[in-house]
Amino acid sequence: MIKRVAIIGLGTMGPGMAARLARGGIEVAAYDIADAALERARNMMVASDGVLDNLGISAPADGAGNVRFTADLSDAVNGADLVIENVPEDEEIKASVYKQIDGMISADTIVASDTSGIPITRLQASISNPARMVGMHWSNPPHIIPMIEVIQGQQTASETVETIRDFIKSLGLLPVLLKKDVPGFVENRVLYALLREVVDLVERDVIEPEDIDTCVSWGIGYKLAVIGPMALLDMAGMDIYHSVSSFLNQDLCDRKDVAPLVREQIAAGKLGIKSGGGIYPYTPESIAELQPERARKLVAIRRILEGRD
């Protein structure tokens, strides 16, 4: 049974993951090498806890569940039943972390990677007990979105997969098991297929960014929040899908490189919110308002989908 979890690398996802695990009665050790990241995570935890309150996810009545922050890696993983690696998407950095913790954890400790798309099978090459390693891909923001992808590498034991699935379910979250360890897993493969097409449409001057955001949010996204894509096939009819896809698939974007629009934005230093501008401009004031406003809307939608409003 998993009772103690170490999160290695806090970044954007770590604080939300820690907050949600603690609400599930888990003792969480949150580690980062940078003092600034630890301080930022402490501040982000306050907001995450407020969102969880709004979702009605209460702390256990027996007082179980807490988060402690540490800059000592051995202290973080000591006694952990599960270590969640959440460091940057760089195989060398991840490999370095696995090699560091290898001698610090027991043979029974499960190591899970929150990588957004690096195949788990590749990552297993850097750990001495690959049978106890699994993919555990949370979706951002992790304290709001209840779906977690579970990815079995070629050497992952089936018992490890079942333990992680049961653990996710015990938290009241939704595990999604991937039958194959494919790059990008499933959520990001679907998302990036959509992003490739919308970037192409904007680049070809078919539509403005504001209008395509409206189209996706209030058209496709609105429906998909209630009716999944495979169920949507049934609703539309296979004959209709066959008819439309027979000509539309020939015209959809299928480029294998990164679109010039994206490369030009990067060259101009326009990385998005983090740089104060990307597709859209951002001020410090608008950025401060954006995250809580989006969290409020996501909470409202989740409550409706769960039948609580």
pLDDT for 58 equals: 92
Residue of 13, 177, 7 lying closest to 81 (CA atoms): 7
Q: Give the rounded percent of residues in the chain with a pLDDT score beyond 70.
A: 100
| pLDDT tens for each residue of 274-296 | 999 999 999 999 999 998 999 99
- A 10 A CB-CB count for 145 gives 17
Q: What is the mean pLDDT of residues 252-265?
A: 97
| pLDDT tens for each residue of 29-88 | 999 999 999 999 999 999 999 999 999 999 888 888 999 999 999 999 999 999 999 999
What single-letter DSSP state applies at residue 58? P
Band (5; pLDDT cuts 50, 70, 90): very high
Residue 298 has which token pair?
Answer: 């996501």
Partnered with residue 147 across adjacent β-strands are 174
Examine residue 281 and say whether the peptide bond preceding it is cis (omega within 30 degrees of 0). no
- C-alpha–C-alpha distance, residues 183 and 188, integer Å: 9
What single-letter DSSP state applies at residue 53? H
- C-alpha–C-alpha distance, residues 296 and 147, integer Å: 18
- C-alpha–C-alpha distance, residues 268 and 281, integer Å: 13
- C-alpha–C-alpha distance, residues 273 and 298, integer Å: 19
Q: Give all domains of the chain, ordered by start, each with its CATH number.
A: 4-178 (3.40.50.720), 187-305 (1.10.1040.10)
Q: What is the mean pLDDT of residues 77-100?
A: 97
Instruction: Tell me the C-alpha to C-alpha distance, in Å, between residue 93 and each of 9, 97, 99, 102.
Output: 11, 6, 10, 14
| pLDDT tens for each residue of 118-164 | 999 999 999 999 999 999 999 999 999 999 999 999 999 999 999 99
The b/e string for 111-141 (b: 16+ C-beta within 10 A; e otherwise) is bbbbbbbbbbbbbbebbebbbbbbbbbbbeb
